């Protein structure tokens, strides 16, 4: 990111006025947000934090933040404080010295912030509002009118900026209605992060907000992620967004660790066939791409995948469906997708659970990212081995996210960690509750996430890995010839089917000419039988169908026993079966059409 990027975080949690309840989240939210925004590997912002400032100092810092900027600058302003509503319905941000009866003098008006945003020369300005009107007052406070709602976006979406390229506002909630905090939220309770700011930090730090997996967290990506996260935690809270932007705004780099494979483009001859005007030629090219998609050489398979994706979007329906069906086979398919470890004693080593990754090599090529710090993942020959950390008691619920080249999948994991038998009832665990489920880990816990890439399934699980030269030497000693032989037979049958089709056409033409010479006394059915055109037609249908079946068996044997074939044998099998399919399918289609023409026309002509 080459543009200059600046962030101002305003966090107020202590207030002189007794009517304004002390907040617990702003301080830790500000520290967490500062960390991820300042991290050069994530946000790469220059960050300034203003904590428990007076209204005058807040106005000075806000105006100074937006002044003297350049068009290449990106500005981010974050509020974490009480939001107050005046008698006239205007939104104010509470400062440490705010007096609710004197909001215009002792609080920061939303109109003031909007004016600073409109007047800045910065190219892009983003405002995050984590302000809850409902939590602003202690029970029974009557220092400001409580009824009604505050429509936050209306306070900022009225005017476009005077200069620059755009602005955006994301709020924790648009309609901030009055509500009370119960006694469980007293000042001596343990601090908990704000749901909204926690979602922002989590999405940026883990890269989960990179929804399109392009390596960047855009403003739209982050809003969609925060919206889902907040709604899951609190269905009554709905984040809102308003924006006037040109182009896409990238707020952070992504740490998702998605799979990136440098593709080897398909051969030029194959690409030329894809652009041919002949349907059958394009069909053969798509079939060959489907075959290349199964190859163990991942760059080759990735190149085929990219070409098939274009075919699925741009070709006619039959070929688009063929490409889409091939692409669906490389989706991640972990088995099982749910692991239940049951009840395990605290501090024990529970058995590992295996997860098999199915599909061709390109589908099995993925990275696995645990979402909870107690999840452990190790690579295995058939896929993954999963186990859990039993250091703390309670019900554990978590997910393993698998990300491949085309999609992602989730494995749900659960376990119940019970107190160890030797703990006894007289030794309580004050730091680990037994009954309620543990709170969802905060974003800082995600730094312990294990990111790993499971290997492809080896050919012989009980043997140590061998070098390429050793493997090829072994293959040359005991090569298998079944698949190449079947592929050769499939090609021979396909050639036979094509020859029978040519013979059928020749004899059919002779029969039609004889019918024309006979005039009104002729019968085309008798002429066709006399010329023997039906026999090669039937042989064509049978040999063409058998060619496809034999070719499919050859492919299946090659995939199931790949370790028994040399690379040359595997390549030859692929080539022979592709050519056989390219000959057999058109021959079958034309033979069926000829049969239909005979059945329909023999009684009429």
In this structure, what are the phi and psi dihedrals at residue 92, rounded to the nearest 5 degrees?
-125, 150
In this structure, what are the phi and psi dihedrals at residue 354, rounded to the nearest 5 degrees?
-95, 145
pLDDT in tens, 364-387: 887 787 878 788 888 777 788 888
- CB-based burial of residue 415 (10 Å sphere; 0-12 exposed, 13-18 middle, 19+ buried)? buried
Predicted confidence band at 254 (pLDDT cuts at 50, 70, 90)? Answer: confident
Those residues with Cβ within 8 angstroms of residue 227's Cβ, 6 or more apart along the chain or in another chain = 238, 239
pLDDT in tens, 193-208: 678 888 999 888 887 8
What pLDDT score was predicted for residue 49?
Answer: 94
| Bigger pLDDT: 391 vs 516 | 391
Percent of the chain at pLDDT above 70? 76
| Bigger pLDDT: 122 vs 425 | 122
- CB-based burial of residue 183 (10 Å sphere; 0-12 exposed, 13-18 middle, 19+ buried)? exposed
pLDDT averaged over the chain? 77
Those residues with Cβ within 8 angstroms of residue 398's Cβ, 6 or more apart along the chain or in another chain = 370, 371, 372, 374, 375, 412, 413, 414
What pLDDT score was predicted for residue 449?
Answer: 36
Mean pLDDT for the stretch of residues 412-423: 80
Mean pLDDT for the stretch of residues 404-432: 69
pLDDT in tens, 303-361: 888 888 888 888 888 888 999 898 888 888 888 889 898 888 888 887 788 888 888 88
- CB-based burial of residue 194 (10 Å sphere; 0-12 exposed, 13-18 middle, 19+ buried)? buried
- Percent of the chain that is helix, strand, coil (3-state, to 5): 45, 20, 40
What pLDDT score was predicted for residue 152?
Answer: 57
Domain spans, the chain: 5-253, 268-328, 336-427+444-448, 482-601
pLDDT in tens, 21-55: 777 778 888 898 999 999 887 888 999 999 999 99
CATH architecture designation of domain 336-427+444-448: Sandwich (2.60)
Q: Which of 61-65, 171-175, 205-209, 514-518 has the lowest mean pLDDT?
A: 514-518
Q: Do domains 5-253 and 336-427+444-448 have the same CATH topology?
A: no
pLDDT in tens, 522-581: 666 677 777 777 888 888 889 989 989 888 888 888 777 766 777 777 778 888 888 888
Q: Which H or E run includes 128?
A: strand 124-131
Mean pLDDT for the stretch of residues 239-257: 79
Q: DSSP state, 139?
A: T
Asked whether the predicted pLDDT for residue 159 surpasses 80, the reply is no
Give the end-to-end CA distance of the chain in Å, rounded to a whole number: 76
Residue range 5-253 forms a domain whose CATH class is alpha beta
Asked whether the predicted pLDDT for residue 82 surpasses 90, the reply is no
Asked whether the predicted pLDDT for residue 436 surpasses 80, the reply is no
Q: Which residue has the tokens 């749901």?
A: 195
In this structure, what are the phi and psi dihedrals at residue 252, rounded to the nearest 5 degrees?
-160, 160
Asked whether the predicted pLDDT for residue 15 surpasses 70, the reply is yes
Q: Which of 181-190, 274-283, 461-470, 531-540 has the lowest mean pLDDT?
A: 181-190
Q: How many C-beta atoms lie closer than 10 Å to residue 94's C-beta?
A: 26
Question: Alpha-carbon distance 553 to 245, whole Å?
Answer: 56
Asked whether the predicted pLDDT for residue 472 surpasses 50, the reply is no
Residue spans of alpha helices (H) in 19-80: 26-38, 55-66
Predicted confidence band at 519 (pLDDT cuts at 50, 70, 90)? Answer: low
Q: Which residue has the tokens 């040519």?
A: 502
Asked whether the predicted pLDDT for residue 18 surpasses 80, the reply is yes
**Greatest C-alpha distance within the chain:** 114
Q: Which residue has the tokens 């976006």?
A: 153
Q: Which is nearest to 35 in space by CA: 24, 44, 25?
A: 44
pLDDT in tens, 95-144: 999 998 899 999 999 889 989 998 899 989 999 988 865 333 333 333 44
Question: Alpha-carbon distance 23 to 6, whole Å?
Answer: 26
Contact yes or no for 515/600 (Cβ under 8 A): no
What pLDDT score was predicted for residue 213?
Answer: 66
What global pTM score does this model have? 0.46
User: How many H helices and E strands in the chain?
Assistant: 16, 19
Q: Which H or E run includes 391?
A: none
């Amino acid at each position: 990111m080459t543009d200059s990027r600046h962030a101002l975080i305003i966090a107020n949690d202590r207030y002189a006025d007794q009517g304004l309840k002390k907040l617990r989240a702003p301080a830790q939210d500000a520290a967490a947000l500062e960390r991820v925004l300042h991290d050069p590997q994530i946000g790469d912002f220059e960050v300034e934090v203003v904590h428990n400032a007076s209204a005058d100092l807040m106005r000075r810092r806000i105006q100074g933040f937006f002044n003297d900027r350049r068009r290449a600058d990106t500005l981010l302003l974050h509020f974490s404080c009480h939001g107050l509503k005046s008698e006239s319905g205007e939104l104010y941000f509470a400062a440490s010295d705010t007096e609710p009866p004197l909001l215009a003098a002792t609080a920061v008006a939303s109109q003031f912030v909007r004016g600073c945003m409109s007047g800045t020369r910065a190219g892009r300005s983003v405002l995050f509002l984590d302000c809850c009107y409902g939590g602003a007052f202690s029970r029974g406070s009557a220092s400001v009118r409580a009824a009604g709602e505050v429509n936050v976006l209306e306070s900022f979406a009225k005017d476009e900026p005077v200069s620059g390229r755009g602005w955006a506002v994301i709020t924790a909630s648009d309609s901030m209605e009055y509500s009370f905090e119960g006694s469980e939220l007293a000042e001596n309770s343990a601090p908990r992060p704000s749901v909204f700011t926690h979602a922002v930090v989590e999405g940026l730090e883990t890269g989960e907000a990179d929804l399109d997996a392009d390596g960047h967290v855009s403003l739209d990506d982050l809003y969609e992620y925060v919206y889902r996260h907040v709604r899951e935690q609190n269905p009554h809270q709905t984040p809102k967004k308003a924006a006037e932007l040109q182009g896409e705004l990238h707020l952070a780099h992504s740490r998702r660790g998605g799979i990136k494979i440098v593709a080897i483009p398909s051969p030029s001859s194959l690409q030329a066939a894809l652009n041919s005007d002949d349907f059958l030629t394009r069909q053969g090219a798509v079939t060959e791409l489907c075959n290349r998609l199964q190859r163990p050489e991942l760059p080759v398979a990735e190149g085929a995948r990219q070409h098939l994706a274009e075919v699925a979007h741009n070709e006619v329906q039959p070929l688009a469906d063929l490409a889409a069906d091939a692409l669906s086979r490389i989706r991640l398919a972990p088995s099982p997708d749910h692991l239940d470890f049951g009840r395990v004693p605290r501090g024990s080593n529970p058995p590992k659970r295996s997860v098999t990754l199915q599909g061709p090599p390109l589908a099995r090529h993925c990275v696995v990212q645990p979402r909870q710090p107690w999840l452990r993942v190790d690579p295995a020959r058939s896929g993954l081995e999963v186990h859990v950390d039993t250091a703390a008691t309670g019900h554990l619920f978590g997910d393993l996210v698998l990300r491949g080249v085309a999609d992602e999948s989730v494995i749900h994991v659960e376990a119940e960690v019970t107190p160890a038998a030797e703990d006894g009832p007289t030794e309580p665990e004050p730091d680990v509750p037994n009954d309620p489920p543990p709170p969802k880990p905060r974003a800082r816990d995600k730094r312990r996430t294990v990111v790993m890439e499971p290997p492809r399934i080896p050919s012989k699980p009980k043997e140590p890995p061998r070098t390429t030269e050793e493997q090829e030497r072994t293959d040359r000693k005991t090569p298998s010839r079944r698949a190449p032989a079947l592929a050769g037979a499939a090609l021979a049958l396909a050639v036979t089917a094509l020859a029978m089709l040519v013979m059928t056409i020749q004899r059919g033409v002779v029969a039609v000419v004889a019918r024309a010479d006979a005039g009104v006394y002729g019968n085309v059915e008798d002429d066709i039988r006399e010329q023997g055109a039906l026999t090669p037609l039937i042989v064509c249908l049978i040999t063409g169908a058998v060619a496809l079946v034999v070719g499919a068996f050859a492919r299946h044997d090659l995939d199931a026993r790949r370790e028994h074939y040399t690379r040359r044998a595997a390549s030859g099998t692929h080539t022979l079966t592709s050519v056989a399919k390219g000959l057999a399918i058109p021959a079958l289609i034309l033979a069926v059409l000829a049969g239909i023409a005979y059945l329909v026309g023999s009684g009429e002509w």
